[in-house]
Amino acid sequence: MDTHQFPDRYSRQVQFSGIGREGQAKLAAAHVAVVGVGALGAFHAGALARAGVGRLTLIDRDYVEANNLQRQWLFEESDAVEALPKAEAAARHLAKINSEVSVQAVVTDLTPGNVEELLSEADLILDGTDNFETRYLMNDFAVWRNVPWIYGAAVGSYGLAMLVEPSVTCCFKCIYPEPPSGVQPTCETAGVVNTVTALVASWQVSLALRFFVDGWKGAPRKIFTVDVWKGETRQVQQPGPQPDCPACGLRQLLHLEGKKRRPVSLCGRNAVQIHERERPLDLAELESRLRPLGAVRRNEFALRFFLPSYELTIFADGRAIIKGTQDVGVARSLYAKYVGA
Query: Concatenated DSSP letters for 175-196?
Result: H-SSPPPS----HHHH-B-HHH
Has residue 3 got a pLDDT over 60?
A: no
Q: Where are the domains of the chain?
A: 11-257, 270-338
Decide: helix, strand or coil at residue 143: helix
Segment holding 274, helix H or strand E: strand 271-274
Q: Which fold has domain 270-338?
A: TATA-Binding Protein (3.30.310)
Residues 249-295: tens digit of each pLDDT: 999 999 998 744 666 666 557 888 887 666 788 999 999 999 999 99
How far is 206 from 13, CA to CA, in rounded Å? 12
Average pLDDT value for residue range 295-312: 93
* Distance in angstroms (rounded) separating the CA atoms of residues 315 and 332: 15
For residue 154, which phi and psi values (nearest 5 degrees)?
-155, 140
Residues 6+ apart with CB under 8 A from 199: 159, 226, 228
State whether CATH 3.40.50.720 applies to domain 11-257: yes
Give the pLDDT score at 305.
95
Q: How confident is the model at residue 13 (pLDDT cuts 50, 70, 90)?
A: very high
Q: Choose between 19 and 258: higher pLDDT.
A: 19
Q: Which amino acid is at 23?
A: G
CA distance linking residue 131 with residue 291, whole number of Å: 33
- CA 222 to chain CA mean position, Å: 22
For residue range 172-223, list pLDDT tens digits in order: 999 999 988 766 777 777 899 999 999 999 999 999 999 999 887 767 789 9
Phi-psi region of 268 (alpha: psi -120 to 50; beta: other; left: phi over 0): left
- The reported pLDDT for the residue numbered 186 is 74
What's the confidence (pLDDT) of residue 273?
87
- Please classify residue 131 by burial: count the beta carbons closer than 10 Å to its beta carbon, then call 0-12 exposed, 13-18 middle and 19+ buried: middle
